[in-house]
Each structure stands twice: as structure tokens, then as C-alpha cells.
A and B are shown apart, each in its own frame.
Chain A
């Protein structure tokens, strides 16, 4: 690996990091604006044209707020909680293939930070680490609402990770690889996995809502019951980190869904595009396509948030354990039977 490659890699990491932060920042703006449109309102429009500077104003406000650590809290863990949450939110993007190999001035560059052969497992590892930040923060606050929120977050994430994993197994039976790059390559053109795994995708997206603590599964922070949930005691930028991490998680899980099920950077007519625009422009169009899909998913997250009310806790557990897990197992069996039959008849 030459020095130029390392420089490219470093630049790529920096760009992806910045992009995920900016996307998260403007997701807060988009969420407020979209919420307003769904409720026949105008939404934030004071800071800058159309309120476009609103995220900056919010950020400045967060930084300037007083930093409060409750007397009876555990100070070290109180700080570790949000830090861990934002850390795990940011490292998830490392294995996502953002585009095909791109040629810049004779150098062939992977538009992916690292193509490890267990990319899907890495994503799952990072996602399950994410719950520690919430749990530690909620526990260290020494507040019963925070603790209840943390417990809810932990049990909810653990329950839904199972069905998420099971829904992925059915997908892996078809792809035969854990590398996200190879999964993306297999979906060349129109050959998207959603056409082969619609039920698996449905289970996955429900679990993704639960993993990112978004409505209708936002029980860890439901203000009607738990004041603020696990971040009741947080103020200033530590609160900002928790809220920010939620949006980064949303961005990453949208990108993962787009990559696993909706063809990633693939789009119909990509070969024609590659032949006509060359190996520098075509991958960039692929990146744009992937981002378009990701933003559509983010929009869907918000659309659902302003449509469906929150689940009750026992309903949440019922859905997770009694419906999604059996459904995911059935999906595995069905996928196995169908693919074995098709192989037998020579497809």
C-alpha cells in the first residue's frame, strides 16, 4: 500500500465522517421541517433562508448551555455514556460500500473504508455496542426515570437484534457472503435483494426502527411516561450527543438497508452509464444513487414517526418475541425450500 493510497484512504475516512455528521445535522432540520409539513405548518424559517441555518443555531445553543452533572451521579460513567453512543454511531459507516471502484488520475480507489469479509457481522457488533452508551448513561444518572429508560432501551434492543439477525440469515443464504462489498456487487443493475427477500426486508426495517429507538419504538425516551427517558439528567452537548447519535444511527441504518436490500449503488442502466461516462464519473453517479436511496429511507423514518403512535411496552415485546422471531424463522425455512427447489430444477 503506497503513500498515495493511504492518503486517499485517510481522505475518504474524513469525508465519510464529515458527511455523516452533516447529514445528521441536517436530519434534525429535515425532521422539524417534515414534521411541520405533515401537520400543515410552516416549520423553522427564521434562521437563514428557509431556516437553513437552524441546525447551526441549535448546535451553538447546545454548546453554550450549562453543563450539569448531578451530585449523586457517577461522573466518569456519566460522561462515558454519550461519548460511547456517538462513537459507536460514527464507526458503523466504515464497512458500507459507498460506490464502485473509482479511477482518479490513474489510481483505482475503493469507495469503502474497509472491505472486511465479515462486514455484516461488524455492523451487528457496532449496533449491539450502541446500547451500552444508553445503558451506562441512564444508569450513571442515578435517576429512576433514566434507569427505566435505560432498561427499556437494553431489553428492546436485545429483543429486536435477534429477529434482525434472523432476517439477515435468510439474506445470507442467498448471497453466500458476509462482505457488504460482495453483497452490493451481486445486486448489479436491477438484481436487487428486495425482489428475493421482501419479507426479510419487512422484518429488517421494523427491527431497524426499534434499534434506532425511533417511533413507534421510542419507548426508552418517551416523555409522556419517563420525562426524558435515559437522557433526563443530561444537558448541554452531552444531551446533544445523544440526540445527534440517534440521527447518525438513522443515517447508517438507512445506508445499510439500501445496501443490503435495495441494491446499494446499483441502478438500472449502470453498464451503459459506465461505458459512456468513463470510470470516474460513473461511480460518482452510483454514490449519488446510494445517497438518494438513503435519504428516501430517512424520509420514511420521519414519515412513520409522524404517523404512528408509540407502542405500549408489552405490545412491543409481543411484537418482537411472538411475531417477528417466528416470522423470521419461517422466512429462513421458506427461503431454504425455495432456493433448494430452484437449484434442483436448474435455475
Chain B
């Protein structure tokens, strides 16, 4: 049958001619190819000293954002935890007291906010679910550790650094 794509190429098996059987031209060709690579720039990098740039839509470690006045945006609504397919997020809500207005933007905030980094699949659904633009997966790669309990990240690791620092 005639192929529609016109890409089919019929190959014939021909006996090798003398030059092909002598190997040497083919070996010389191979040597030239490897020599070209010899002078090429390496594609690898010295990792811990040099790091590659992440792509724009890379999803790394989470960070809990602050607003322009340095107040925490999260209101502990729990939508991120509900949207999380891996059930990695948990939180405890608390009410803002008098005198804490400079810390939390709204009357309710997350007293405890924990993400289990071993469960997290970095899908970014929490980011999409958040109505307050409080969580983004814009960090680095989650570092290695020794114990499972050390992969449960609390607010100390997740919240952005205060603005005035």
C-alpha cells in the first residue's frame, strides 16, 4: 500500500564493499566524531558551586507570603488543604488578638501551618486554590534530611522573611 506520509524509506541490505570491510575508514570517521566532542563545551556543571536556573514554571518548596506591609496573608481558610490531592497540608486557625494587627492581615490566621514534604507531590493545586495569594511554590528544591519527622515543615520554614530584614 502506498504510504500517506511519504516518509517510508526502503533499505536494501548490500554486501559490504572492500573499504567498509577494512574498518579503517569507519574507525577514522568515529575518531573524528569523538575529537569534535573533545573541544565542545561541557554540558555538565560543577553542581553545588554552580546551579542551573529553574524554568519559570518550576514548582519547588512552598512559601507563605506576606503583603506589602509585611503582614501574613494566610487566613487559615483551609482551601489549600482541601485541594491537596496528597493530603500533605494541615493547619490550625486562631483569632487575631488586639495588638497583632501588624502581624496578620485579617481577623483569622493560621497558628500552625504544616506541610509534609514527603507527601507533597508539588502539583501546585494549593497555589491555585488559595483565594488570598498566600502560598506559592516558588522556592528551591526541598533539601535532604535524615528523619521523617524533619520533613514536616512548619511556619518557621515556610513563612517568608519579614520585610524590614
Contacts and interface: CB of A to CB of B under 8 A. Distances in A.
Given A39-B37, A40-B37, A307 B42 contact: no
Nearest to A319: B23
Contacts of A40: 37, 40-44
A38 B38 contact: yes
B27 interface: yes
B33 to A, nearest CB: 8
A321 to B, nearest CB: 16
Contacts of A37: 37-38, 42
Contact of A307 (B34, B43, B46): B34
Contacts of B19: none
Interface string B1-39: 000000000000000000000000001001101110110
Given A303-B34, A303-B35, A306-B34, A41 B42 contact: yes
Interface string B70-90: 000000000000000000000
Contacts of B31: 303-304, 307
Nearest to B40: A40
A42 B34 contact: no
A39 B44 CA distance: 10
A39 B43 CA distance: 9
A34 to B, nearest CB: 8
B42 A36 contact: yes
Contacts of A38: 34, 37-38
A117 interface: no
Nearest to B35: A303
A308 interface: yes
Contacts of B33: 307
A2 B35 CA distance: 51
Contacts of A307: 27, 30-31, 33-34
A155 interface: no
Interface string A169-210: 000000000000000000000000000000000000000000
Interface in A138-178: none
B46 A45 contact: yes
Interface of A: 34, 36-42, 45, 303-304, 306-308
30 contacts: A36-B42, A37-B37, A37-B38, A37-B42, A38-B34, A38-B37, A39-B37, A40-B37, A40-B40, A40-B41, A40-B42, A40-B44, A41-B42, A41-B43, A41-B44, A42-B42, A42-B44, A42-B45, A42-B46, A45-B46, A303-B31, A303-B34, A303-B35, A304-B31, A307-B27, A307-B30, A307-B33, A307-B34, A308-B27, A308-B30
Given A34-B38, A304-B27, A307-B31, 12 more contacts: A37-B38, A40-B43, A40-B44, A42-B42, A42-B44, A42-B45, A45-B46, A303-B31, A303-B34, A306-B34, A307-B27, A307-B34
